[in-house]
Structures are given as structure tokens and as C-alpha cells.
């Protein structure tokens, strides 16, 4: 699901995104991946945009399965900065 809200006449945009994945494999192993993304975009001019994005990804694997060691549990935090030029 994605939500985008424009503020200040559309110059400032706040956004949120969420995703849930269920993965199964030929063996009885499975994974669940949860992704959350939160961003702020600002249009300085009609041709120049800047953004800050924070993303968190969680992966959970079945621990009771012998092959689950190849799918470790983890949480990843990412912060991204972006600049867009449009012509």
C-alpha cells in the first residue's frame, strides 16, 4: 500500500509505503519480509526536486527447518537522499 499527500500546493509531498511478502521454497523453509518506506519530497522549482527517504526491511525465516540457516533473520535500516532534475 502506498500513500502520498501533497502539502503547500504540491511543493511538499509526504509519502508512506508498506509491503508484506510471504515466500515458500521447495524445501519446507519459508520467509516473511516486511518493508516500510517513509519519504519527504520537496520541489524547489518545476525542474528541481529533493528528497529524503527512510526504509526499514525485516526478514523472518522459519527457525525449525534445517535449511533456514541460509535465510538469516535481519533488520536493515536505510536512509537515502535524492535530487531530481527534470527537463
pLDDT at 68: 47
| 15-27 tens-digit pLDDT | 999 999 988 877 7
Question: What 3-state DSSP class applies to 66?
Answer: helix
The pLDDT of residue 84 is 95
Q: What pLDDT digit, counting tens, does each position of 34-82 carry?
A: 999 999 999 999 999 999 999 999 988 876 555 545 667 889 999 999 9
Strands 30-45 and 12-24: antiparallel
CA distance 70 to 12: 42
Amino acid at each position: 500500500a502506498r500513500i502520498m499527500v501533497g502539502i503547500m500546493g504540491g511543493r511538499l509531498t509526504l509519502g508512506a509505503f508498506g509491503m508484506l511478502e510471504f515466500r515458500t521454497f521447495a524445501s519446507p523453509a519459508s520467509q516473511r519480509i516486511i518493508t516500510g518506506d517513509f519519504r519527504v519530497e520537496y520541489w524547489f522549482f518545476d525542474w528541481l526536486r529533493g528528497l529524503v527517504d527512510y526504509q526499514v526491511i525485516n526478514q523472518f525465516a522459519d527457525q525449525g527447518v534445517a535449511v533456514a540457516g541460509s535465510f538469516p533473520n535481519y533488520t536493515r535500516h536505510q536512509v537515502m537522499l535524492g535530487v531530481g532534475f527534470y527537463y
